[in-house]
Amino acid sequence: MPVTTKECLEALRKNDYLQALKWLEYIVAHYSVPEGDADTVLQLAIYELIHHGFIVDDFHYIEMLYTLLYEQLPPFVERVSYNATVLCNAAMQYMVFEEHDLLNFYKTDIYMDNAEVIKEWMQRTAPQLEQGRNSEELMKKYTALNKASVGLQKQARIIRDKINYVLDCQLLLQDYSCELAKLQNKDDFSAVRLGVINSLLSFLKEQTIATSEVMKTITVFIGTIQKMEPYKWEEDILTKLAAKSTKPFITWFFDKSAEQFQFFAVKVIGTLLPSVELKDSLPKGP
Q: Which residues contact 240 (CB under 8 A, 6 or more apart)?
A: 172
Contact (Cβ atoms closer than 8 angstroms) between residue 244 and residue 186 = no
Average pLDDT over residues 233-244: 87
Q: What is the pLDDT of residue 254?
A: 39
Domain co-membership, 147 together with 199? no
Contact (Cβ atoms closer than 8 angstroms) between residue 38 and residue 84 = no
Instruction: Give the separation between CA 190 and CA 58, rounded to whole angstroms.
Output: 48
Amino acid at 63: E
Q: Element (H or E) spanning 159, and its range?
A: helix 131-181
Domain co-membership, 196 together with 181? yes
Give me the residues paired with residue 126 across strands. 129
Instruction: Give the separation between CA 268 and CA 51, rounded to whole angstroms.
Output: 25
Domain co-membership, 116 together with 11? yes
Q: Which residue in 130, 118, 113 sits closest to 39, CA to CA? A: 118
Q: Give the model's confidence band at 35: pLDDT under 50 very low, under 70 low, under 90 confident, else very high.
A: confident
Domain co-membership, 79 together with 37? yes
Domain co-membership, 23 together with 92? yes
Q: Helix 78-99 to helix 59-70 angle, to the nearest 10 degrees?
A: 140
Domain that holds residue 195: 162-253
Domain co-membership, 81 together with 147? yes
280 located within any domain: no
Instruction: Give the separation between CA 156 and CA 66, rounded to whole angstroms.
Output: 9
Contact (Cβ atoms closer than 8 angstroms) between residue 96 and residue 138 = yes
286 located within any domain: no
171 located within any domain: yes
Give 41-84 pLDDT, tens digit per residue. 999 999 999 999 999 999 999 999 999 998 878 899 899 999 99
Q: What is the pLDDT of residue 169?
A: 95
Instruction: Give the separation between CA 210 and CA 162, rounded to whole angstroms.
Output: 5
Q: Give the model's confidence band at 187: pLDDT under 50 very low, under 70 low, under 90 confident, else very high.
A: low
Asked whether the predicted pLDDT for residue 244 surpasses 90, the reply is no
Q: Which residue in 113, 90, 115, 215 sits closest to 162, CA to CA? A: 215
Residue 51 is given by DSSP the state H
Domain co-membership, 77 together with 118? yes
Instruction: Give the separation between CA 82 and CA 134, rounded to whole angstroms.
Output: 22
Instruction: Give the separation between CA 94 and CA 45, rounded to whole angstroms.
Output: 10
Percent of the chain surpassing pLDDT 70:
83
Instruction: Give the separation between CA 286 and CA 283, rounded to whole angstroms.
Output: 9
277 located within any domain: no
